[in-house]
Amino acid sequence: MLEDNSTNQIVIRQMLLQLGYQSDVAADGVQGLQFAQQNRYDLILSDLHMPLLDGYEFCRAWRDIENLLNLPPIPVLALTANVMQEEQQRCYDAGMNGCLTKPLPIAKLEQSLAQWLHPERSVSCLESATTAIEHKAIADVRFDRDTLAKTVGIDAVDEVLADFTQSYRQHMPELVSAVSSGNMAQISAIAHKLKSSSGFVGLTEFAQSLKALELAARRQTGDACENDYQECWQHCLSAARLVEQLL
């Protein structure tokens, strides 16, 4: 798994363990290439936006290595917090086999892994997937320890929440500072980073407000977008105040 967000690393690793899979974790595409050349993996999960070498560059480089060494291709699935069609097409153009949207319900992960690793079991996995977990996570806007425990395992809940809290304490002041200075690129980048980990721990309302802020910052090219951007930021602040009460 290639993922630079530490909270996401813990959550996805625990989800894989819950489903019976072992995994190695790389924090960027360069480390991912090193791991892939040193080990033989059945499947690779890759974030798209990482330092040093992003997910697109990683996959293109790995496909070149496979071709050069005449290796059988390993399925590569993108992990993305964006569902825009253009980004999904970029994944396929880079040589990826599919896209998984973060936050990722464990039932969806199980189904996708079965499709690529155990195609004979993919239908039964789809039928038996625990959709109640997914529905509850979407409806809940606060920390839901029970649902999180089912996703990562009860022993990992405190580790996940502690890591998210540390990440939140680091990045939220950075986001406030970026908003104060009007740095739209930084606002978009920080909101994107906080968005997926917030969704993973069940803070749906906060994740949604961050997503809206990220998109508004990307669109902010003139005065016409100012009201939309400011409204998104106020929603984000309101949700953040709720988060503060929970940490």
| Model confidence pLDDT, tens digit, residues 71-120 | 889 999 999 877 677 888 889 899 998 888 887 888 888 888 887 887 64
Of residues 8 and 246, more confidence is placed in 8
221 band by pLDDT with thresholds 50, 70 and 90: low
Measured in whole angstroms, the distance separating CA 202 from the mean position of its chain's CA atoms is 13
Q: Could you write out the DSSP letters of every residue in the chain?
A: -B---HHHHHHHHHHHHHTT-----BSSHHHHHHHHHHS--S-EEEESS-SSS-HHHHHHHHHHHHHHHTPPPPPEEEEES---HHHHHHHHHTT--EEEESS--HHHHHHHHHHHH-GGGHHHHHHH--HHHHHHHHH--S--HHHHHHHH-GGGHHHHHHHHHHHHHHHHHHHHHHHHHT-HHHHHHHHHHHHHHHHHTT-HHHHHHHHHHHHHHHH-SSGGGHHHHHHHHHHHHHHHHHHHHH-
Q: Does domain 6-129 have CATH number 3.40.1260.10?
A: no
Give the pLDDT confidence score for residue 71 in this predicted structure.
87
CA distance 99 to 112: 10
Give the pLDDT confidence score for residue 42 in this predicted structure.
94
Of residues 225 and 184, more confidence is placed in 184
| Model confidence pLDDT, tens digit, residues 24-78 | 999 999 999 999 999 999 999 999 989 889 999 999 999 999 888 888 899 999 9
Domain assignments of the chain as residue spans, ordered by start:
6-129, 156-246
Of residues 241 and 165, more confidence is placed in 165
Mean pLDDT over residues 166-184, rounded? 81
Give the pLDDT confidence score for residue 137 in this predicted structure.
33
Structure tokens at 82: 């964006």
Whether residue 247 is predicted with pLDDT greater than 90 in this model: the reply is no
CA distance 246 to 176: 19
| Model confidence pLDDT, tens digit, residues 119-149 | 644 444 334 433 333 333 333 345 667 777 8
Q: In Å, how far are 39, 126, 212 from 24, measured between CA atoms?
A: 10, 26, 32
| Model confidence pLDDT, tens digit, residues 57-71 | 999 999 999 888 888
> pTM (2 decimals)?
0.63
Gap between the terminal Cα atoms of the chain: 28
Structure tokens at 68: 């050069």
Mean pLDDT over residues 229-244, rounded? 74
Structure tokens at 220: 């902010």
